[in-house]
Amino acid sequence: MNILVVFAHPERRSFCGALKDTAVRTLTDLGHEVTVSDLYAMKWIAELDSQDFTGERVDADYLDLSREQEHAFATRTQAFDIEQEQRKVAQADLILFHFPVWWFSMPAILKGWVDRVFARGFAYSAGRKYGKGHFFGKKAMICLTTGTDSTLYEPNGIDGDLLHVLWPIHNGILAYTGFTVLPPFAAWMPGRVSADERQGYLDGFARHLTAIEEAEPLFFHPWEDYDETQRLKPGIKARSGIQWNPRAGQTFEQAAHEYDQRMATER
């Protein structure tokens, strides 16, 4: 496989960096082609703005970003750094996103990478999302570190279930653009555990990557489960853990309970 590692941590010697190095070493040893985009080392520009468009604009007086992105992609007049990253994405069979969880999400520099690289025309367009997304056939996975213990990210934890926390990324970015989304790998508060536990994380990640081609993806309802209003059809019970379907007689509590039971079985 061609694998792109997108790394977003300002300290290369961080544990997040150690996980990235483990990924590169393990996947290379397995015979995969691995490319790394180290966003901080690259001094990646996070702001999506008029600087992204080097040619004649569709409308020079009003900045409609999605319209200008689509035009720039079609006319090959995007900024050079965007073109370079889009080329990496286009060649990748799998993308690994390595980052620390900051404020329940990804660092701003990585969100800026998504904003600029996953441009309209390249990553999505009219009628091309989810199961029909531009990146259909590609896989994506998050590898994250946290500052707190795993118990905070359990269904009854104060921060909420990890997959719920990651829903805006898993569903709103990755599944939306067509990726098959693999379960995330989490290293819980590596700065506050023993050296042996940190090594255990690294060894576990290496084993996880060794079997990544057989990994069972996360569940997202297929397009066929939704009606013309893009709501789950009557009779379709939500299974994602973050949704529920009143038109199927399903309450949030019922959906959450069924989800918790499935997760307990899978764990």
| Per-state percent for the chain, helix, strand, coil, to nearest 5 | 45, 15, 40
Q: What percent of the chain has pLDDT over 70?
A: 99
* pLDDT confidence bin for 263, thresholds 50/70/90: confident
Q: What Å distances lie between residue 195 and 144, 145, 192, CA to CA?
A: 18, 15, 9
Residue 141: per-residue pLDDT: 98
Residue 267: per-residue pLDDT: 57
Q: Tell me the mean pLDDT in the region 230-244.
A: 93
Domain limits for position 236: 221-267
247 and 116 belong to one structural domain? no
89 and 172 belong to one structural domain? yes
154 and 172 belong to one structural domain? yes
| Model pLDDT for residues 93-149, shown as the tens digit of each residue | 999 999 999 999 999 999 999 999 999 999 999 999 999 999 999 999 999 999 999
134 and 237 belong to one structural domain? no
**Above 70 in pLDDT, residue 266?**
no
Q: Contact 27/213 with Cβ under 8 angstroms? A: no
Average pLDDT taken over every residue of the chain: 95
134 and 260 belong to one structural domain? no
Q: Contact 110/97 with Cβ under 8 angstroms? A: yes
140: left (phi over 0), alpha (psi -120 to 50) or beta: beta
68 and 139 belong to one structural domain? yes
236 and 142 belong to one structural domain? no
201 and 233 belong to one structural domain? no
| Model pLDDT for residues 50-81, shown as the tens digit of each residue | 999 999 999 999 999 999 999 999 999 999 99
| Model pLDDT for residues 30-51, shown as the tens digit of each residue | 999 999 999 999 999 999 999 9
259 and 156 belong to one structural domain? no
Which CATH number does the domain housing residue 77 bear? 3.40.50.360
Rounded-to-10 torsion of CA 229, 234, 236, 241:
70
Domain count, the chain: 2
Residue 258: per-residue pLDDT: 83
Structure tokens at 262: 């499935």
245 and 184 belong to one structural domain? no
Residue 264: per-residue pLDDT: 73
13 and 90 belong to one structural domain? yes
Q: Rounded distance, CA 155 to CA 161, Å?
A: 4
210 and 232 belong to one structural domain? no
141: left (phi over 0), alpha (psi -120 to 50) or beta: beta
